[in-house]
């Protein structure tokens, strides 16, 4: 993605959201994250998938946001599919935001998630930080659903900078490959 792609404005109204998990391990997080999305995005559905293939097939429903709770292997794979391949699959399905919302080691993301050249915003959660995740997500979604682009909304909720420390926010890696999109 070039700088001009970042500046290109795009607005989606009535954003469709899929909050999902691979397996029942993440049921509590799935419920709380789904509640946060439903407050701002009425077209939110929640699903637990048994396999990555089921999830990939569901992407045909053309979701704007995919919020996924899953384990990422040390090699950077989700249930045997590389993170990079899953990012490409989401991009091909016109997903604008892919959020890996469960805690996973940063090395797993570094080893298998390459979003370079993809038109997608990607959040890779390293540490949800327990009770702090839901309020952060709620604040972020409130700003995004009112028309703020995700990079600006993220910076408002969790100001960025070399000296910034945010013990009350999740620790995450954010790639803005579709930074100009507004998800209402």
Could you report the per-residue pLDDT of 116-158, keeping only the tens digit for each? 999 999 999 999 999 999 999 999 999 999 999 999 999 999 8
Residue-level pLDDT at 27 = 97
Mean pLDDT of the chain: 92
Percentage with pLDDT > 70 across the chain: 91
pTM strictly above 0.85: yes
- In this structure, what CATH number is given to the domain that contains residue 7? 3.40.50
Scored b (16 or more CB within 10 A) or e, 87-108 reads bbbbbebebbbbbbbbbbeeeb
CA 6 to chain centre: 17
Q: Quote the number of domains for the chain.
A: 1
Rounded CA separation 114/138 (Å): 27
Helix, coil or strand: residue 173: strand
| CA–CA dist 102, 112 (Å, integer) | 16
CA atoms within 13 Å, Cβ hemisphere of 138: 9
- Which residues form the domain of 70? 3-183
| Separation of alpha carbons 70 and 40, rounded Å | 23
| Residues linked to residue 76 through DSSP beta bridges, in sequence order | none
**Dist CA 34 CA 73 (whole Å):** 24
Query: 10 Å Cβ neighbour count for 27?
Result: 12
């Amino acid at each position: 993605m070039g700088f001009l792609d970042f500046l290109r404005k795009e607005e989606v109204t009535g954003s469709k959201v899929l909050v999902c998990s691979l397996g029942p391990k993440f049921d509590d997080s799935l419920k709380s994250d789904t509640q946060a999305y439903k407050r701002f995005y009425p077209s939110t559905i929640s699903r637990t998938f048994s396999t990555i293939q089921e999830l990939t097939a569901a992407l045909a429903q053309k979701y704007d946001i995919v919020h996924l709770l899953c384990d990422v292997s040390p090699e950077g794979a989700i249930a045997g599919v590389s993170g990079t391949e899953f990012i490409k699959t989401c991009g091909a399905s016109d997903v604008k935001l892919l959020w890996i919302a469960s805690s996973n080691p940063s090395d797993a993301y570094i080893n298998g998630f390459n979003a370079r050249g993809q038109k997608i915003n990607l959040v890779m959660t390293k540490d949800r930080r327990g009770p702090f995740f839901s309020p952060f997500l709620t604040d972020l979604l409130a700003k995004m659903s009112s028309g703020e682009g995700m990079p600006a909304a993220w910076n408002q909720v969790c100001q960025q900078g070399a000296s910034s420390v945010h013990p009350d926010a999740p620790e995450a890696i954010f790639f803005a490959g579709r930074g100009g999109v507004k998800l209402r």
